[in-house]
Copies of this chain bind each other. A is one copy, B any other.
Amino acid sequence: MDDMIGFGGDRESMLRAAKTVRAEVRAGRWKDRTTGMARGMVQGNLVVLPKEHAEDFRVFCERNPKPCPLIGMTEPGDPSVPALGDDIDLRTDLSCYRVFENGVETSEEHDISHLWQEDSVGFVLGCSYSFEEALMQDGLTMRHIENGTKVYVYKTSVACEPSGPFQGPLIVSMRPFTPPDAIRAIEITSRFPDVHGAPVHFGEPSMIGIDDINELYSGPEPDIRAHEVPVFWACGVTPQAVLEEAKLPFAITHKPGHMLVTDKLNAEFSTT
């Protein structure tokens, strides 16, 4: 498994780890989460839609770049995304997929070759793993990682800009920090506009419609300590929730934690 993690250092070994992860997943030998795999490489969320909804969804991403940072998109029927890796095949390269019919999950799959249609369009969205890695490299400790839990996720009262059938509230992830660490976290994440970018809010949660910080959309009871403020980032759960709400006849997404590992370096996604 070590060769799937890649221990950073040079670009070549990181790239090799990414290709190894995809090869293992494609061969059906790795069906687990990709968290912590191919360190240094960008991982992406996946959405697959029929062509008739693709343009509306693309515009939805364009209008809501913080929760939906679109980093790659396929041609209809073509499962490759050369911009993110020359051998990527979206039908086989994610370790677990969720299939939705009319907004309801009907199955989990490890391979969607049999479900991929001539008019299927794949969207790859940036995810917070990239900026979390940059925060850790700066020496910042994230509570959910320290505690070994999932991140704290909340539904806000902030509406996304709608597009066609796609609409719904912004969903955010929360990480508590002291003010000086929050400032560093804002500085760092603002350099990663393609993976959610800077936070959308900090402090008083009621200002974004979170009336009770203990009422989460998902995640454990929040552990916020003295002198810490909650800092909220736009979250990749937003498009998933919007998609479920749109109740399309047919859609496929990645299963949370089971991402597409790309050949892009996180460092390439930094604007500085």
A: residues with CB less than 8 A from B are 178-180, 182-184, 186-187, 190-191, 198-204, 207, 227, 229, 271-272
In the assembled complex, which residues on chain B have CB atoms less than 8 Å from the CB atom of A203? 179, 203, 229
Contact of A183 among B201, B204, B207 (CB under 8 A): B201
Which chain B positions have C-beta within 8 A of A183? 186, 198-202
Judging by beta carbons under 8 Å apart, are A207 and B179 in contact? yes
Closest to A202 in B: B179
- Residues on the B chain within 8 Å of A204, using CB: 179, 227
* Closest B residue, CB atoms, query A229: B203
Expressed in whole angstroms, the minimum distance between the Cβ of A67 and any Cβ of chain B is 15
Once A227-B207, A272-B271, A272-B272 are accepted as A-B contacts, the answer to whether A202 and B182 lie under 8 Å apart by CB is yes
Q: What would be 24 A-B contacts, judged by CB atoms less than 8 Å apart?
A: A178-B207, A179-B201, A179-B202, A179-B203, A179-B204, A179-B207, A180-B200, A180-B201, A182-B202, A183-B186, A183-B198, A183-B199, A183-B200, A183-B201, A184-B198, A186-B186, A186-B190, A186-B198, A187-B190, A191-B272, A203-B229, A207-B227, A271-B272, A272-B272
What residues on B are CB-neighbors of A227 within 8 Å? 204, 207
Query: Inside 8 A of A202's CB, which chain B residues have their CB?
Result: 179, 182-183
A215 shortest CB reach to chain B, Å = 20
A267 to chain B, nearest CB (A): 15
Residues of B within 8 A of A180 (CB): 200-201
**How distant is A222 from chain B, measured CB to nearest CB, in Å?**
18
B residues in contact with A184, CB < 8 Å: 198
Extra contacts besides A203-B229, A272-B272 (8): CB < 8 Å: A179-B203, A179-B207, A183-B198, A183-B199, A186-B186, A203-B203, A204-B227, A271-B272
B residues near A229, Cβ cutoff 8 Å: 203
Most chain B C-beta atoms within 10 Å of own C-beta, residue among A178, A182, A184: A182
A187 partner residues in chain B, CB cutoff 8 A = 186-187, 190, 198
- A191→B186 CA distance, assembly (Å): 12
Q: Which 4 residue pairs spanning A and B have beta carbons closest together?
A: A187-B190, A186-B186, A179-B202, A179-B203
Minimum Cβ distance to chain B for residue A197 (Å): 9
Query: Chain B's nearest CB lies how many Å from the CB of A262?
Result: 24
Minimum C-beta distance from A90 to chain B (A) = 32
Chain B residue nearest to A207 in the complex (CB): B227
Nearest chain B CB to A66 CB, angstrom units: 11
